Amino acid sequence: MPGLLGQNFGRYKILELLGEGGMATVYKAYDTRLEREVAIKVIRREAFPPEEMDMLLKRFEREAKMLGRLSHPNIVGVIDYGEHEGSPYLVMVYISGGTLKQRLGQPLPWREAVRMLLPIAHALEYVHEHNIINRDVKPANILMTETGQPMMSDFGLVKLYGEKKGEGGGTNLTSSGSGIGTPDYMSPEQWTGEATTLSDLYSLGVVLYEMITGHRPYTADTPAGILLKQATESWPLPNTYVPDLPPNVESVLLKVLAKEPSNR
């Protein structure tokens, strides 16, 4: 959304752009009432057909309330939501230490990688207990505090599960129930919209694999290329890149990255 810098979303003054995605744009802002910095995620109206906007706004409000009820030390807190010129937005705690993605590029010692990801595993366990599937676990969505603590963020693709009939089924901020996520980190079943809590586990396994080896299990120039490789190829064993990796660590990766969810 061009021209938002310097604008006020009610009590929040937009300061700078933090990141852009297909569904939303994230800004750093200043809360003039509480006098603190926050992050604001603005849904991109142009990403959705006009006829779906009413439904989007209702679902967004519902998800904002649901996310606002979450309380976990490794989940970025949602503190407010609203609407600006027809575009819904979330207000979240501002985390200033960058993202896990910015710290990748070369292999990390496996103990350090496991230590860093364990809090995110606990955070995922927590949201799963609250009937939530994240569906977009990836390094760019793991924020780091100034002291190096990881924080799970970006629930724009969340899906509720286990709801009663008549409550609208699952809910998500997307116009389609299929192919939701980031291709390099998506589980095989996620391509057909069949995401479960085990899909989040697979994505977390991809992140751990990348941290330990410096590579992702599957890479290709297009999403279709990733899907084809998932269907027809085995990913390189981690000891291909890290020969001295302990067998028990490799066994964990083999299990969480199983193609069949029931084998994870």
Q: Which residues are catalytic?
A: 136
d(CA 26, CA 38): 10
Are 53 and 185 spatial neighbours (Cβ–Cβ below 8 Å)? no
- What is the separation of C-alpha 146 from the centre of its chain, rounded to a whole number of angstroms? 20
- Helices and strands, number each (H, E), in the chain: 5, 10
Instruction: Report in angstroms the alpha-carbon separations of 67 from 81, 108, 186.
Output: 10, 32, 22
Are 86 and 53 spatial neighbours (Cβ–Cβ below 8 Å)? yes
Are 74 and 122 spatial neighbours (Cβ–Cβ below 8 Å)? yes
Residue type, position 225, single letter: G
Are 95 and 144 spatial neighbours (Cβ–Cβ below 8 Å)? yes
Relative to beta strand 159-160, strand 132-133 is antiparallel
Q: Residue 60: how many CB atoms within 10 A of its CB?
A: 21
With 0-12 CB in 10 A as exposed, 13-18 as middle and 19+ as buried, what is 79?
A: middle
